[in-house]
Structure 1
């Protein structure tokens, strides 16, 4: 039976009737009242009430081509702008297709409000034969990848549900929140007056005073303190990064950023070990610390150098997500927003120094911290030198030059979005975000993130009035991950998004090829037939060029000077670095 002959179809008269406000209007009005300006998604039969209401609103609708890419785009919009991303989904297949994108937002704590349609109320909890798109429990499918889920059963409940979802999404740990509204509730006439204002305030999560005091006692007594800065620092904003700098300088503590925390600490600072969490020389510094201060990181697989990290000292872990505290190591767990906790620590350390606390220095810093006769900057310089020497001994000149050429071409304030590709693995460790922002799919690690997220980010920046180099973004992907999101070239062209897409074409799933060759001596199912990416992009009306790897810098410079979307393709095989060992 075709979709158009299914039961429970809304009335579709030949002539449009005079409009009466319905549930869809309440959704849109509430979102606007909360400050939403842009909505991502794809129309669907049960969601038509939402999309009809959009036509009467000032919200910009971004027409994606695949629902998981719409979720990535809403994610990128939120990361680039600091606003809540909004996603409209249709029932069943549309909702399910979005889940991979929502997993990344959930794992990386990106605030989204997801409004999904549902089958009519009469079918909820039943298995009616022939009811289109029906799932036994649609919310259950979303439960693993969203903070909370709610089904609205009456139109009068829509404004409160959307408002509550917004507040939940922006409360740390932030994340996507799922609201579903049945088809007949979206289409039904409502007596609820137009929504004029809505207020969604996040719950506050300051650190507990006794935990701050105990942390300061530990830190004041430590002569070797090291810091791991995670994504929670970046998500707390510029103020959190300033407080991180203040704490690090007070403690004279070496700082390493996790992949999610890239850019949270100045890479050119004398205390910065960059982001080389996957280097054993860096791991040894973390292990040798008397106190290891971890902020906004779960110390998960990558940040713990694949669970080889074994701290020998005390560990203080600050995170807004209580589930990660003490998960991998015994810690003094401090459940708090990273920025508030860092500010409280810095103030308390300065106050303790001013009061002449035991071990406090005379100059206002805890500069008595000496790493076995060396200063912290000396330790950091030695570690950074060893990391570079190790790389130079592995015939990685092509890879290092490639990353340097891309970094040189990218303006200092440009935001970049990286797919799961060998170039991104390098970027996790070597990228200097400068005054821009670094975004990658390290949370869930799914393919296809880079381009749709960058597309959403570019539209977000444009909505804030940013243009030219200040509004353009860069996406980086491999040829394998690029095929996941190639359809979004049509969306980028349709919405004239200022996004440059760098595709590193190595003929397959490059990182999986290396893993398999290293483990089994050969790779299986990693090689891919792929299109002529230049011709394919041009078929969408998107300018593109292919260049040798040595010319990637000038090609990107040309692309950044363009208008709308464009593509640069480089055919090359980048290699990963070999793991380090202390005997290196």
Structure 2
């Protein structure tokens, strides 16, 4: 007999899934029965939150959904934070969980792992949540999930399967998914309206978000055709490659870029929420658009959030940019876009905080030694500075948890997921001593999974950024001077290489050695070290 659980893994493999993150429990073991008959590898994190973050990192570097098997009750509450981060950053994630027997749902009889309603729990962090009541529903529900991932704004999907349904016979069920939709293309009328505005523009500015991460070729071509200085959100870093003369980096919250946007005669925003964590990290509401605004987004509801559009184009960003390029009338060459961008970059370079000097040199060293590396960050000082300073050479090479939901503990497990997805590229986790303690045990998962990530640990002996925030506001510094363990000894106990860097020369040696290691490497950097000042 083919069970519903066995059919599930067959359908996942047919959909292109090659990795599942999960911790087996008595309520999910039947999901594992069919795994040996597939080529899907199973990765065991040490916490369900780690599973979600690993799936997130996997999805961000591949553009394909990260998949998790999660137990009823505590497994779902544990992974909810990771789902929230993925939801905020439009990351595709498929969370398949068990749930109590269908005859027991909602009764509150105190069964093992019972929650009143798991779907209510996940409703705010998913595109949809579905309870599978019979095996017959499985192909259609999975098709619906992959339709979200491939043809709409990608976000987590939760499918829960009652224990009695996981083991139910599924021999009679169609063993194939339905056809998946193409991503939507733009309205010709909307393209014409946008081209009319852009043809007259003399000082256009282009704003790119994570929704353009798959459309680097089109974005570069459009920026150059418009001669438009271009700012990228943190999740769009690398869409214009490092050193491009029109690039403004990810500095939309800084006065020089804000003035350029405020002085523009047309702004075109593509695949971006125009949200606070990319455009107002100073929390002063100072980002303004005072000219016609063209917005392109795959999510129709997003087109008038934060800043209302004058031209709203519901479309996949690549197809919309292709249509603009094909229909944009020949513009008289203005030729000052690169000059305007260079003036902004020069202003920014003169204004970086002095305390970033060492961090800037650190990033230069890392990119010189590992030019193709993927940087995955937590919420920590090197991430905050790198969001402004760092230029990626290609998309999907810099992402972190400082955007959107803004959770701690993300960096290490997400880096593991990224490394498993891209084993031929170096992956560097940028984490702080406070955030690392949230998910430190995932070092064991990295060793076990042969994921030799490089962990760059910024140690300021506590919650340093929050402490500074408190001091600036004359608040008592309660709860931020936490006990700091010996990370080097702990990491070695997990089977990792670990050492503290004492100079830039030593850091270079450690990074070079780590790049050829077969185990994770932790490189500790103390914030107050002389060479980092």
TM range (shorter): over 0.9
2:64 is aligned to 83
Quick check: 1:427 aligned with 2:401? Answer: no
Structure 1 residue 549, shift from structure 2 partner: 5.3
Of residues 484, 495, 519, the one that matches 1:564 is 519
1:211 is aligned to 190
Quick check: 1:286 aligned with 2:247? Answer: no
Of residues 161, 178, 184, the one that matches 2:164 is 184
Of residues 153, 156, 161, the one that matches 2:141 is 161
Q: For residues 413-449 of structure 1, what are the alpha-carbon distances to aligned partners after superposition, in whole Å with 9 as ceiling and x for unaligned?
A: 2222111111111111111211461121223211111
SS in structure 2 opposite 1:45? Answer: coil
Structure 1 residue 298, shift from structure 2 partner: 1.2
Structure 1 residue 193, shift from structure 2 partner: 5.8
Contact 2:28–2:97 at 8 Å: present in 1 too?
yes
Whole-angstrom distance in 1 between the partners of 2:447 and 2:174: 35
1:296 is aligned to 271
Whole-angstrom distance in 2 between the partners of 1:317 and 1:517: 40
Structure 1 residue 294, shift from structure 2 partner: 0.9
Whole-angstrom distance in 2 between the partners of 1:79 and 1:395: 30
Q: For residues 467-503 of structure 1, what are the alpha-carbon distances to aligned partners after superposition, in whole Å with 9 as ceiling and x for unaligned?
A: xxx3331111001111111111111111111211111
Of residues 294, 314, 320, the one that matches 2:298 is 320
1:17 is aligned to none
1:416 is aligned to 375
Structure 1 residue 133, shift from structure 2 partner: 1.1
Whole-angstrom distance in 2 between the partners of 1:33 and 1:244: 32
Of residues 112, 126, 149, the one that matches 2:129 is 149
Quick check: 1:460 aligned with 2:415? Answer: no
Q: For residues 144-203 of structure 1, what are the alpha-carbon distances to aligned partners after superposition, in whole Å with 9 as ceiling and x for unaligned?
A: 1111111111122222222221222222311111111001111233332683x4345134
Quick check: 1:261 aligned with 2:236? Answer: yes
Cα 1:54/1:194, change in 2 over 3 Å? farther
Whole-angstrom distance in 1 between the partners of 2:12 and 2:39: 11
Whole-angstrom distance in 1 between the partners of 2:64 and 2:209: 20
Contact 1:271–1:377 at 8 Å: present in 2 too?
yes
RMSD: 1.9
Quick check: 1:400 aligned with 2:360? Answer: yes
Quick check: 1:70 aligned with 2:13? Answer: no
Larger radius of gyration: 1
Contact 2:240–2:394 at 8 Å: present in 1 too?
no
Whole-angstrom distance in 1 between the partners of 2:267 and 2:78: 41
Cα 1:377/1:194, change in 2 over 3 Å? closer
SS in structure 2 opposite 1:317? Answer: strand
Whole-angstrom distance in 1 between the partners of 2:516 and 2:308: 51
Give the number of equivalent residue pairs.
Answer: 523
Of residues 376, 386, 391, the one that matches 2:347 is 386
Whole-angstrom distance in 2 between the partners of 1:402 and 1:244: 29
Quick check: 1:51 aligned with 2:10? Answer: no
Quick check: 1:101 aligned with 2:82? Answer: yes
Contact 2:55–2:68 at 8 Å: present in 1 too?
yes
Cα 1:554/1:522, change in 2 over 3 Å? farther
Quick check: 1:368 aligned with 2:334? Answer: yes
SS in structure 2 opposite 1:432? Answer: coil
Quick check: 1:347 aligned with 2:331? Answer: no
SS in structure 1 opposite 2:376? Answer: strand
Of residues 112, 130, 133, the one that matches 1:132 is 112
Alignment of 1:565-580 (within 5 A): 565-573=520-528
**Gapped runs of 5+ residues in structure 2?**
none
